[in-house]
Amino acid sequence: MFSINDDSANFPNFDSIQDHGSSFLPFDSQMVQSQPQITTLRSSQKFSLTSSPDKIQTNQVPPNQVQYLMANLVSAGCSNQSRKVQDLVDLLAQNGQNDIIDRAVQQHLGTLHNLITDKYGNYLMQLLIKHSSPDVFQNIIALIEHNILEYSFNQFSCRVVQAVTDRCISLNISYFVLKVFDTLVQTQQLTTRSLNSQFASHIVLLTLNSIPYQDQEKMFIFAAQDFLNIAKDQYGCRILEYVYKFVQDALSAVYVEALFQLLSTNVLHLSDNRYGNYLVQAVLKNQFYQVNNYLENIMQVLMDSFRTLSQSKFGSNICECVVQLCDIQSLVRLISNCNFEELIKDQYGNFVTQVFIQRMSDFSLKCQCPVCCIKLQESLEYSHDVEMDQINIALPIDSDVICTMELFRKFCCFIKGVLDIVPSIHVQRSIQRSFDFHDLEVCSFDEFRELIL
């Protein structure tokens, strides 16, 4: 019964501080798939094995700068000289002199905490994590491992935890990724705090794509105990959105069942919430939930409250999803319950009206009524791109099928009559994408509905 185009919901991005040093790991609703790097080296600066010895020698870091790095890694890194040190570390890495970076890290291992928690130093620390050898990286892991909670809730050090976790994922160091996750969801209270944190939530989100569902179960249980508090939070909703979005089979659906039922129970409340509406959209757009009939009750509740939701700022987003999910019969029933004069003049309902028009247009393009099928057959017979023996197979003619093309035209005629009372250039333009607006003859709603009765 249901189908929909899967357009990802747009969630608020974390506001990176980019005034100094390299940029912070960019996270959004897709970040767990893309695994972005901390910095990107300009191609012109990358070290090449084919370079001539003279060129390599020219790019070597002078000994006095190496000495400066060894002596001032932390003190300069935590000052407005941080960018200078970062450029030096980048240059060493480009020249293949990572052993110098390793020696600097080892020499200052006891004071790296200052870099990790500093406004400027955290950017340098991300570079050291990126360019250190596997052995030295293990020492950095050990340093972070003892301070996961402290670092995860700090606006600067949380970036370092993400950088370490990101590299652990790429190196398949799974024990650390799991430890970070477990540390942040130890209890119900800590789970809520972590998921709703502006800083720790990004770390949780990063770990989810690398942890099996059975290891995430603890978080699902704790999140269910404080569901609405998390679902209506700016950052907590992003975690739940990820969870709902990536339910793709029966096993994952079982683990998320309690969270799904809580959303179903609170669907109206969440639909009209600034952040909760994203969760409802994620569930409605999930292909697994669609094809396995998980959405019947949710759809019925939303359709019953459609008139109210369609004229609200956040609920109108949900109404657009509902329209996209309806089959033709459900769509006509939904249209029957709408007051289009109110809908068109409303700043949010106006967009819902345009989605109605687009959805009806989609059905019209797939019309399988006898008249449209015959017309299509005749046009295909003159096409050089279609084999003759494929035409009849592709176009079975059923005399009981409704002409959705004519239904769409009548709907536009009805809407044109409403526009005479409540003008809207945006709705008119939606109609004009399919018809010459002036050629449409105004009709009543009953004339439109008669086509499907």
Model pLDDT for residues 362-373, shown as the tens digit of each residue: 999 888 787 777
- List pLDDT tens digits, range 160-204: 999 999 999 999 999 999 999 999 999 999 999 999 999 999 999
| Mean pLDDT, rounded, for 275-298 | 97
Contact 448, 411 (CB under 8 A): yes
Q: Comparing 48 with 300, which gets the higher pLDDT?
A: 300
The pLDDT value recorded for residue 61 is: 84
By mean pLDDT, which of 51-55, 164-168, 255-259, 272-276 is the weakest?
A: 51-55
Q: What distance in Å separates the CA atoms of residue 333 and residue 238, rounded to the nearest whole number?
A: 34
Q: Which residue intervals of the chain bear CATH 1.25.10.10?
A: 24-37+57-171
Q: How far from the centroid of its chain's Cα atoms is residue 93's Cα?
A: 33
Q: What distance in Å separates the CA atoms of residue 177 and residue 302, rounded to the nearest whole number?
A: 39
The pLDDT value recorded for residue 46 is: 38
| Residue 175 DSSP label | H
The percentage of the chain sitting over the pLDDT mark of 70, rounded to a whole number, equals 81
The pLDDT value recorded for residue 42 is: 34
| Residue 313 DSSP label | T
The percentage of the chain sitting over the pLDDT mark of 90, rounded to a whole number, equals 74
Average pLDDT of the chain? 86
Tell me: domain 24-37+57-171, CATH 2.30.29.30, correct? Answer: no
Residue 126: is its pLDDT beyond 60?
yes
Which contacts qualify for 49-57: CB closer than 8 Å, 24 or more apart? 56/95
